[in-house]
Structures are given as C-alpha cells and as structure tokens.
Amino acid sequence: MKALIASLLAGCLWYGAGEARATEATASFKVLKLEGNKVSWQKAVQRPGGVIHFGVVAEAMEFSGARNCRKMAPLREIVAESGLAVAAVREEIAAAFAMWQAVANITFREVADPAQADILIGAQAEPAGWAFADVFYDAQSSESVKPISKALICLNPAKRWKIGFDGDLTVYDLRYTIAHEIGHAIGLDHPNGAGQIMGYRYDEQFRRLQLGDVQGAVLIYGEREPGSAAVAAEGTVPHRNAGALGLAKRWGSRAFTARPH
C-alpha cells in the first residue's frame, strides 16, 4: 500500500451561520485535500466499535516519512518546561478529543501503548514553530475519499504552554491548540475566514468548537448519534503495523501565521 503524508505546518501557530448540514461552499469550514484527495478515518469508524485510538508518546519515536513530527519526544517534556501537572494535561487532551466527538459521529479512545494508536500526541524532538500535524493516508485506495491510516500531533517543548485563557497571546492554551490539530487529523483544513477553532490564527475569543468547525466535522462523519459513548479510558487494541509510514514520499502543507504586534 502506498501512503502519502500531509504536513500541516504551524510555524507560529494560528491567531486568529447556517444549518449543521451546510455544504463547504456555504459554511465557515474547509475540508482537507491532500494532493487533490479528500481524506477521512472512514475505515476506522467502520470497523467493529467504530473507534479511533489515540495515545501519548512516552518515549522517543521516529517516523521517517513525516515532515514535521519526524522525531517525537515524550509529552512530559512539555509538562516539565511549562510547570503543568501531568494529570491536568491529560485532562486537556481528553477534553480536546471530546469536543469533536460530541458533535460528529466519531469516537475516540485512549490506549496505553502508543504503538497501537491511530493518532499520536507528543513533543517535538527537534523544536520548531508551535504545533504541527502530519497525516498519512492510502493514496491508492479506490474510494473517492481516501482513508487516513495514521496522524501525528507534535508540540514544541521549548515554548511555554498554559491551560485556560488569560489574554496573553504569546503563551498558547493546550486544549485550544490540540483541538485545532485534531481537526486537521480528522480531515479539516483552515477555513478561508476567522472565528473558528480551525482558523489559522490563535485568538482567545472562544475555547470550544464554533459553528463552522461543527459543520465541517458533521459533513465528513455525520451527526453525533444520541447515546454514543464518550471518550473512554485507556484500553488495548490489536497491534498495528506502522511500516506503511516509511513509504510516505510526498506531502501537502498548510501554514499558520503569527498575529503582527
């Protein structure tokens, strides 16, 4: 299987009405297109349980096909540098996944073993910018929307991070940042306008998904079904072969820009 990768750049991170079933042309969202291909976790949500597994990097990992998250370090490096409690950081990660799960028919569950995760979250081993996402997908699939096989989210441990808003736009809120990167990891791009979590400019005006974010997620995965499971605690899943990541040869890029001061 040939895999392609999209590197969603966040060099300086981002500053920054209608029906839930609105189309992209009439809403404040934009679906991700990698070399012209729309992508989604269609195979993951169709498999038994319909769950996408996420994990936190606990030791050094390397992905030769990735552009931005090629070398990932334990997330605890961010915790140590910013003086945050490990438990609080993990709560923010779970809350960021829960934002998307609450509105769209997509379910996330944390796994203890990072090697078994579909979406990996960690620190950059080679600090640059603020936050990045790399997305791998099967370019040879016959499906009109190509299936995502893996996504990486990496944060710069040399930057200071915080939990919550305080008006200081030089220190980024973890939940907001991770929710934005999850949006890329599930198939959303930066919209043309501002005012959304997926906007390319960070701004402390809201700490939850906005209408365009919701419309985009619902367009890809459908509306959340009543009574669906919430983000689950750590569990185990069958081992996944990550060898396809090494086949990644090309990528599409998206860049965040900094607010001028």
Q: What is the pLDDT of residue 22?
A: 60
Q: Please give the average per-residue pLDDT across 50-54, as a whole number.
A: 92
* pLDDT band at residue 143 using 50, 70 and 90 as cut-offs: very high
Q: What is the pLDDT of residue 13?
A: 37
For strands 145-155 and 119-124, give the pairing.
parallel
| 179 found inside a domain | yes
Does 258 have pLDDT greater than 80?
no
Q: What is the pLDDT of residue 230?
A: 46
Which of the residue ranges 6-10, 37-41, 164-168, 201-205 would you say has the lowest mean pLDDT? 6-10
| Of 66 and 231, the one with more pLDDT | 66
| 246 found inside a domain | no
| 252 found inside a domain | no
Does 239 have pLDDT greater than 60?
no
Q: How far is Cα 40 from Cα 244, in angstroms, rounded to an integer? A: 17
Q: What is the pLDDT of residue 81?
A: 85
Q: Work out how many domains the chain is built from and give that number.
A: 1
Does 240 have pLDDT greater than 70?
no
| 87 found inside a domain | yes
Average pLDDT score, the chain: 81
Distances (CA, A) of 109 to 9, 117, 119: 26, 9, 10
Written as one letter, the residue type at 79 is: V
Domain that holds residue 46: 3-240
| 186 found inside a domain | yes
Q: Please give the average per-residue pLDDT across 52-58, as a whole number.
A: 97
| 73 found inside a domain | yes
Does 21 have pLDDT greater than 60?
no
Q: Please give the average per-residue pLDDT across 119-132, as a whole number.
A: 95
- The model's pLDDT over 198-238, given as tens digits with 9 standing for 90+, comes to 998 998 999 999 999 999 999 999 998 776 544 433 333 33
Does 259 have pLDDT greater than 70?
no
Q: Please give the average per-residue pLDDT across 51-57, as a whole number.
A: 96
Q: What is the pLDDT of residue 49?
A: 67
- The model's pLDDT over 155-180, given as tens digits with 9 standing for 90+, comes to 999 999 999 999 999 999 999 999 99
| 122 found inside a domain | yes
Does 243 have pLDDT greater than 60?
no
Q: How far is Cα 114 from Cα 207, in angstroms, rounded to an integer? A: 27
Q: What is the pLDDT of residue 82?
A: 92
| 245 found inside a domain | no
Q: Residue 213's domain is classified under what CATH number?
A: 3.40.390.10
Q: What is the pLDDT of residue 24?
A: 72
Range among 48-52, 78-82, 244-248 with highest mean pLDDT value: 78-82
